[in-house]
Chain A
Amino acid sequence: MKLKSFGKGGIHPNPSKLTSGMPIIEVGVSSEIRLELAESIGVPSRCIVRPGQTVSAGEMIAEAAAFVSAPVHSPVAGTVKRIEKVRDPQGFWREAVIIATEHIETAVDEVEAELSPRTQEEVDALTPKEIIDIVGDMGIVGLGGATFPTRVKLSIPEGKKAEIVILNGAECEPYLTCDETIMCGYPDRIVAGCRLIMKAVDAPKAVIGIEANKPQAIATFRRYLKGCDDIEVVKLRTRYPQGGEKQLIKAVTGREVPEGGLPVDAGAVVDNVATALAIYEAVYNRKPLTQRVVTVTGPLLRKPGNFMVKIGTTISTLIEAAGGLPEDTGKVIAGGPMMGKAMSRLDAPTTKAISGVLVLPKSMSGRHPEEPCIRCAKCVSGCPMGLEPYQMMNLSIMKRFEEIKDLHVLSCLECGCCSYVCPSHRPLLDYIRYAKQEIRKLPK
């Protein structure tokens, strides 16, 4: 049987899923938690605590400042020490709330004890509007990496209709296994979360898209969903970037999202499986989004694994939990090897966006020397959006940004396929990203 996939482009990198099938390990609570206020795309949230104030685990410390914004909650009980700028993994200053943890050893249990879960009857009585409000209040954002506030995604604009909910379990990035782990571990919760999304957007049907290289996850869901006809598991071809929103919609429904449009224009609402799990926790267990699963991996790490991490823990704590930084480390990457960004400092806090920490040895992380373009057009056939990366790079070097805009550069999802396939090792994506930044500065 031919497996479903998107139309054009794409690559097949070595999956290197070293941590596949490993259990989720809890990382201990550190004595200090640093929570960035700009945890989601859009407007940074507004801080509502003062230094010296005590906060309980799960208490909101910053509220949404606009429609496209999400609140932030404290993952621990403790005292607000300072509100100051901290460096993110790329070294930029970000406004953050610093909380000193009390009772390090009991913090986790306290969270569990404090909350009385909603019963199934109570959940069934919730209206779509109430579900969306809970999702908003609990600070849930898209956990696939883009951190788009889920409340906004679930609020379908007037005049549009969601026909299908697609849960994104493709996890096409090499090395990362955080989604696979939760899919194997909590299929019941993910399906319950999925039903909540279906109710919120009033969609009759849902699909869970999983790449073929995760047979265990597919089998788990198929077993769990036996007899259900509203939720279907779709096995997708192992192909990068299968987990891109537009690629997934194309693979599952055969429809294309118009340029500059939303997935709902193609009748679909796409959420990551981790987001569905977070929605389940928020609605059933009244738990705000304060932790997530992060894959810490790398060929030389002593104990790579999937870790349950309190948001705000430093990245170095995570690496320590995985056995410490190996001596021959070339780069540490936030996210996967294709779309992740190299980190310049490891004392930065984790955010809701981080899905993986990849430690690469020097031999695997260096750049190849750039050579002239030989016009082989591999980048053109590799681009899943059907763009012309070589042309955009040439124009970007000449700073002709208006013309790059006419080449639909803003449709680029920065998957990195072009740079990956280029036989001359040209840094195509770097130039495209630069052009995108400059185009956003151009007068409208």
Chain B
Amino acid sequence: MGVISTTVLILGGIGVIAAVVLYFVAKKFHVYENPKIAEIEELLPGANCGGCGMSGCHAFAKACAETDSLDGFNCTGAGKDIMEKISVIVGLEAKAGVRRVAVMKCHGGCEERQVVNNYDGVDSCAMEGTLYQGETDCNYGCLGRGDCVASCIFDALHIDPEIGIAVVDIDKCTGCGKCVKTCPRHLLELVPVEPDKPIVWVACMNHDKGALAMKECTLSCIGCGKCKRVCNHDAVTVDDFVAHIDPEKCVGCGECEGACPRSSIHHIGNLRPELKGNPETSDNKPAGSNEA
């Protein structure tokens, strides 16, 4: 009896003293944190993808809570109404952020780009790139070892087993841009997604001269400039034997895709052929009248 009660008393006493000390210490050293930060962080996906440009979700929540204007703030990973919810919490006006997705600028699979040697080293694009230019003749295309797949935390990138190169799942892609930084060949590009407008892009990065590019891959961009000539919106530029479509200027008419002799231009979504006319001279003409 005596032993048990002494034990209970001593331990209980220590507990009470510790609780009192801790209470005062906690009061004394309390750090005030804006309660909005926790509230906002609750809404964020918690993936710490860095797509917003901050180091992680907590940093983004903190920045939102402390800013004077939400201009330029956008969480790419959480869907389109996230900024509205945040604007309610912080009491500031917020524009809905533009959703961006990554597009893959190589589509030369095993059929189109013949494998000319075998690589047996470490299974990583970056490592293969330190040793040599790759298994095919194309020095610019996808190496297919999946560094981008490993970098994607939203499961939006996969190596297509049939063609052996990476493909983007547009529905899952949040546009965080991790793969863009990872790809040693810089084959991924972030493009804005707008409602009712298709994404049109040149799926090749081969900078070799046309004749060489033609031998290296049957789907390569040869820099012929046909797409540039048919575009009425000044959206296509050909630089160093590769065409590039400016997503801001592109209206999604799909003229360039039809003109490309190498099937290098791809689109996602419904094309809008009615917009192919020149916006200055034939603004309201029907789509067919330009062809004559």
Within 8 A of A (CB), among B101-147: 116-117, 120-122, 126-127, 130-134, 137, 139
Within 8 A of B (CB), among A49-90: 87, 90
A91-B133 contact, Cβ under 8 Å, with A366-B120, A431-B122: yes
CA distance A93 to B216 in the complex (A): 14
CA distance A370 to B132 in the complex (A): 21
Distance in angstroms from A181 CB to nearest chain B CB is: 29
Proximity bits, A174-185, B CB within 8 Å = 1, else 0? 000000000000
Inter-subunit contact A92/B121 (CB<8 Å)? no
Tally the A-B contacts, defined by beta carbons under 8 Å. 43
Inter-subunit contact A367/B121 (CB<8 Å)? yes
Inter-subunit contact B117/A344 (CB<8 Å)? yes
Inter-subunit contact B122/A344 (CB<8 Å)? no
B135 closest partner in A (C-beta):
A344
* B121 touches which of A345, A430, A437 (Cβ 8 Å): A430
* B132 touches which of A92, A367, A427, A431 (Cβ 8 Å): A92
Is A222's beta carbon under 8 Å from chain B? no
Is A433's beta carbon under 8 Å from chain B? yes
Range class of the A interface residue count: 10 to 19
A344-B127 contact, Cβ under 8 Å, with A91-B139, A366-B120: no
Within 8 A of B (CB), among A318-359: 341-342, 344-345
Inter-subunit contact A90/B132 (CB<8 Å)? yes
The CB with the most chain A CB atoms within 10 A, among B121, B133, B139, is that of B133
Residues of B within 8 A of A224 (CB): none
A92 closest partner in B (C-beta):
B133
Residues of B within 8 A of A186 (CB): none
A430-B139 contact, Cβ under 8 Å, with A344-B117, A366-B120, A367-B121: no
A90-B131 contact, Cβ under 8 Å, with A344-B116, A367-B120: yes
Total interface residues on B, CB under 8 Å, equals: 15
Distance in angstroms from A51 CB to nearest chain B CB is: 16
B207 closest partner in A (C-beta):
A93
Residues of B within 8 A of A90 (CB): 131-133
* A427 touches which of B117, B122, B208 (Cβ 8 Å): B122
Inter-subunit contact B139/A92 (CB<8 Å)? yes
B124 closest partner in A (C-beta):
A434
Inter-subunit contact B126/A434 (CB<8 Å)? yes
* B127 touches which of A341, A342, A430 (Cβ 8 Å): A430
Proximity bits, A236-253, B CB within 8 Å = 1, else 0? 000000000000000000
Inter-subunit contact A91/B134 (CB<8 Å)? yes
Residues of A within 8 A of B122 (CB): 370, 427, 430-431
Inter-subunit contact A427/B130 (CB<8 Å)? no
CA distance A344 to B131 in the complex (A): 10
Residues of A within 8 A of B137 (CB): 91
CA distance A32 to B238 in the complex (A): 34
CA distance A443 to B121 in the complex (A): 29
Inter-subunit contact A427/B121 (CB<8 Å)? yes
CA distance A269 to B132 in the complex (A): 32
Residues of B within 8 A of A342 (CB): 131-132
A344-B133 contact, Cβ under 8 Å, with A430-B121, A431-B122: yes
Inter-subunit contact B120/A91 (CB<8 Å)? no
Residues of A within 8 A of B133 (CB): 87, 90-92, 344
Inter-subunit contact A434/B130 (CB<8 Å)? yes
Residues of B within 8 A of A437 (CB): 130
Within 8 A of A (CB), among B245-265: none
Residues of B within 8 A of A370 (CB): 122
B134 closest partner in A (C-beta):
A91
Residues of A within 8 A of B117 (CB): 344-345
B182 closest partner in A (C-beta):
A399
B120 closest partner in A (C-beta):
A367
A434-B139 contact, Cβ under 8 Å, with A91-B132, A92-B132: no
A426 closest partner in B (C-beta):
B122
CA distance A430 to B120 in the complex (A): 12
Within 8 A of B (CB), among A368-389: 370
Proximity bits, A415-444, B CB within 8 Å = 1, else 0? 000000000000100110110010000000
A396 closest partner in B (C-beta):
B127
Distance in angstroms from B127 CB to nearest chain A CB is: 6
CA distance A431 to B133 in the complex (A): 17
Distance in angstroms from A432 CB to nearest chain B CB is: 10
A93 closest partner in B (C-beta):
B139
A370 closest partner in B (C-beta):
B122
Within 8 A of A (CB), among B179-218: 208
Residues of B within 8 A of A344 (CB): 116-117, 132-133
CA distance A341 to B121 in the complex (A): 12
Inter-subunit contact A430/B130 (CB<8 Å)? yes
Inter-subunit contact B120/A431 (CB<8 Å)? no
Distance in angstroms from B5 CB to nearest chain A CB is: 53
A341-B139 contact, Cβ under 8 Å, with A367-B120, A367-B121: no
Residues of A within 8 A of B131 (CB): 90, 341-342, 430
CA distance A108 to B116 in the complex (A): 36
Distance in angstroms from A430 CB to nearest chain B CB is: 5
CA distance A345 to B132 in the complex (A): 11
Leading 7 A-B pairs by shortest Cβ distance? A91-B133, A90-B132, A344-B117, A434-B130, A367-B120, A427-B122, A344-B132
Extra contacts, 17 of them, besides A92-B133, A430-B130, A437-B130 (Cβ < 8 A), are: A90-B131, A90-B132, A91-B132, A342-B131, A344-B116, A344-B132, A345-B116, A345-B117, A366-B120, A427-B121, A427-B127, A430-B121, A430-B127, A431-B122, A431-B127, A433-B130, A434-B126
Binding site for A on B (CB under 8 A): 116-117, 120-122, 126-127, 130-134, 137, 139, 208
Binding site for B on A (CB under 8 A): 87, 90-93, 341-342, 344-345, 366-367, 370, 427, 430-431, 433-434, 437
Q: List 24 A-B contacts (CB under 8 A).
A: A87-B133, A90-B131, A91-B132, A91-B133, A91-B134, A91-B139, A92-B132, A342-B131, A344-B116, A344-B117, A344-B132, A344-B133, A345-B116, A345-B117, A367-B120, A367-B121, A370-B122, A427-B121, A427-B122, A430-B130, A430-B131, A431-B127, A434-B127, A434-B130
